[in-house]
């Protein structure tokens, strides 16, 4: 009878393991719905790369082993929640990127097909944001080459006022 008891205990353990995963799957499906099934290759759907084959490897004729595993939806993500992101830090980073982009743009301005007015506007924006006095000369050259006399005068006046604030 002792051998029978061990067999029953073993069977119970197996049932708990295999039955437990079915119960867990049922709970997940009940709470979250059935997870989507990835599309299979063919009919315009490219094959998905697997961990065993690099993405650039040619596709094999047998697609049964190329099916990606279904992601574990029960694992907790280590990524920060959206509420944890602070808008002030994002704005600060964007301001730094903007300033860097403007500084990178200045040496390339001669390669860009813009009107003299547009170049002047960009140069003045760079000066206002970076306080870089070395760009004043380029802004002055752009202002001098503006054809419309009224716009040219307004641009030169703006440049003079900007220089006074530097």
Range of the domain at 164: 109-166
Flag the least confident range among 44-48, 55-59, 110-114, 158-162: 55-59
Dump pLDDT digits (tens) for 34-60.
Answer: 655 555 666 566 666 665 545 554 554
Q: Does residue 13 form part of some domain?
A: no
Domain count along the chain: 1
Q: Does residue 31 form part of some domain?
A: no
Q: Does residue 151 form part of some domain?
A: yes
Rounded to 5°, the CA angle 129-100-110 comes to 85
Specify the pTM.
0.44
Q: Does residue 35 form part of some domain?
A: no
Q: Note the pLDDT of residue 155.
A: 95
- Of 71, 65, 46, whose CA–CA distance to 56 is shortest? 46
Dump pLDDT digits (tens) for 51-94.
Answer: 554 555 455 455 555 666 676 656 555 555 544 444 445 556 88
Q: Does residue 64 form part of some domain?
A: no
């Amino acid at each position: 009878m002792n051998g029978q008891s061990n067999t029953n205990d073993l069977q119970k353990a197996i049932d708990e393991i295999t039955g437990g995963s079915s119960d867990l799957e049922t709970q997940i499906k009940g709470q979250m719905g059935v997870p989507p099934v990835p599309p299979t290759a063919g009919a315009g759907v490219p094959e998905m790369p697997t961990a065993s084959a690099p993405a650039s490897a040619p596709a094999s004729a047998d697609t049964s082993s190329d099916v990606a595993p279904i992601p574990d939806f029960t694992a907790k993500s280590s990524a920060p929640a959206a509420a944890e992101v602070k808008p002030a830090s994002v704005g600060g980073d964007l301001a730094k990127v903007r300033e860097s982009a403007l500084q990178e743009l200045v040496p390339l301005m001669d390669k860009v097909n813009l009107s003299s007015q547009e170049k002047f506007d960009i140069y003045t924006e760079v000066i206002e944001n970076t306080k870089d006095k070395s760009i004043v000369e380029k802004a002055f050259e752009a202002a001098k080459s503006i054809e419309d006399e009224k716009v040219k005068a307004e641009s030169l006046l703006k440049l003079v006022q900007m220089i006074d604030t530097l």
